[in-house]
Chains A and B, each alone.
Chain A
């Protein structure tokens, strides 16, 4: 599984690029988070407050191991803006996968 946190406005670009390399499914969640990109200050009715979390989009993609490196590279290059807050990518091993409709497992499930 590749877990990637990217800037929200990059989502469409990344989705298109991934589809091109053969990724057939992915999950997207809207999240807030922080890393090197600190928050910023806002004012509400005269009072300042820290917004510590920045909106990001999290992708979770499960692919056969051979495809993993390509997926990571694709996300990395497509989502990069060069500015702080571009995001992070993590790669995990998946113990099992099942297609609910048919019961197929592992590689056939993808």
Chain B
């Protein structure tokens, strides 16, 4: 009986196209609209994965600061994400993707989405919906801003920090981003940065470095030639944060394929997933082994940083390498982190979570590593690295100095010691406990 029903049903469905053809002109086939649908889907899904990296950053940073500063760190994270979203709509997205422009700068206006129920005739069938493109790019700029919040934790005032985020997400990131992903002068020159080792990670890192220099180290961090560790309040949260970032990175790198409508494209997305994962694992294991050898004990915080450095390292070219390639590129990222975290301390640059080693230094490495498997030369890569570096670092220094001179960026000594939660926010993260 079932077989009969199925056959009848099949007959029925077989008849339908005939009916449809009688009514419309040819209904679009997969070749025409499929790629648009798949790419839009990719952007939406990759986008919400990268969105979740905001939670990853929040947990990682919250776990690595002392308990008296956790509420502030959480506030900074949710605020910066939200501000980034608004600034990107207001001016950022169209500044970064201006279409035809001089290759250096074109100030854009507000983003407007496709019409409700946009028809195939009106949609950008060779790409994806505006909404998905906007959303996907938006979560990237938010990641850049998060990098800054980790490095400057435990001594910065809230509102000046958020003012910096407004400038970073509305202007700095979009302008420099337009040079590469917006089709500007760097992309014309052959610079290669698949998912943003330079465009996102090093930009966040340069801004963080500038901020750390202008802000100064935490009280008591460097005293009489010694480096005083200030252990984090919750390493379980820090670990959770790292895993969430790792998860989000599949969207970060995978979505950057920017297409999923062909066999080649969707397979490429899977290559990217596999390579991204491998680089993270390699970075983690490298840090695991190195800290055991160097310090006689594994340092969890370094393992976490190592995994992230591996991820940043592969981000400039997650498609082309073999799995072995992803492994050694990620491993070098892990090495970089283990050696540069103490190195920053030697220069008295206080980076609370290791954001500068992970995002700036591994970001530079990742951008250079493109020459091994991807399509780029050392010259193009270095040009891009230096261009982004000079622009971001100098612009950031200017903004930080202006903020310092006008609003002041650092809390008072007493407030810093009592904790930002109480002094800036009047709200403790762990009101029943008293620790750190």
Chain A residues with CB under 8 Å of chain B are 7-9, 12, 30-32, 42-44, 55
Contact = CB atoms under 8 A, between A and B. Distances in A.
Contacts of B417: 8-9
B434 A12 contact: no
A42 B220 contact: no
Interface string B392-436: 000000000000000000000110011000100011000000110
Contact of A42 (B418, B427, B435): B427
B426 A12 contact: no
A42 B417 CA distance: 19
8 contacts: A7-B414, A8-B417, A9-B414, A9-B417, A9-B418, A12-B220, A30-B434, A30-B435
Given A8-B418, A12-B220, A42-B426, A32 B434 contact: yes
Contacts of A43: 426
Nearest to B416: A9
Nearest to B220: A12
A55 B414 CA distance: 12
Interface size class, chain B: 10 to 19
B434 A55 contact: yes
B413 A9 contact: yes
Contacts of B414: 7, 9
A23 to B, nearest CB: 19
A61 B105 CA distance: 65
A30 B435 CA distance: 8
A83 to B, nearest CB: 10
Contacts of B418: 8-9, 55
Contacts of A55: 418, 422, 434
Contacts of B413: 9
Nearest to B425: A42
Contacts of A9: 413-414, 417-418
Contacts of A32: 434
B436 to A, nearest CB: 9
Q: Which of A7, A9, A30, A44 has the most CB of B within 10 A?
A: A9
A7 B417 CA distance: 10
Nearest to A43: B426
Contacts of A30: 434-435
A43 B425 CA distance: 10
Query: Which 5 A-B residue pairs are closest in the complex by CB-CB distance?
Result: A9-B417, A42-B426, A30-B434, A9-B414, A8-B417
Nearest to B219: A9
Contacts of A31: 434
Nearest to B412: A9
Contacts of A44: 427
Contacts of B427: 42, 44
A12 B413 CA distance: 13
A42 B434 CA distance: 18
Nearest to B415: A9
Interface in B30-52: none
A74 B274 CA distance: 63
Contacts of B422: 55
Given A9-B417, A42-B426, A42-B427, 7 more contacts: A8-B417, A8-B418, A9-B414, A43-B426, A44-B427, A55-B422, A55-B434
Nearest to A11: B417
A74 B430 CA distance: 34
A55 B435 CA distance: 11
Contacts of B435: 30
Nearest to A32: B434
Contacts of A42: 426-427
A45 to B, nearest CB: 10
Nearest to A81: B414
A33 to B, nearest CB: 12
Q: Which of A30, A31, A55 has the most CB of B within 10 A?
A: A55
A44 B220 CA distance: 31
A98 to B, nearest CB: 29
Contacts of A12: 220
Nearest to A8: B417
B70 to A, nearest CB: 16
Nearest to B426: A42
